[in-house]
Amino acid sequence: METLTREQAVWAAGMGISIERARWLLECPKFTNGTIRATAQVRETSPDHHLVVVNGNLYFRINRAGLKVLERTPQDIGQARAYRDRRLVELGLKAAKV
């Protein structure tokens, strides 16, 4: 545990911080902001993500800022998923499988 200099102890007392707390703060890495960071939210995606049924037909749909896509896909769900994966790679939204 590092010791405080006299100036640091005087500053801590003036700020209303205990000596133990000031020592603890001295041990923190530089630029520590002290906020509690939320963990990244893990979202489960549906196997039919980006596929929608409109009037009984399957469509591939992406609605993002600067990118609006609505394309009719094959009506077989397996073929529609393959079409979706291929289009996501073509649009640069998914890495190609090697």
Q: Which two tokens stand for residue 83?
A: 């079409």
pLDDT digits (tens, 9 = 90+) for 13-57: 999 999 898 888 888 877 777 666 667 777 778 889 999 999 999
Q: pTM (2 decimals)?
A: 0.55
The domain limits of the chain are 1-32, 51-90
CA 58 to chain CA centroid, Å, is: 29
Question: Which of 23-32, 69-78, 79-88 is predicted least confidently?
Answer: 23-32
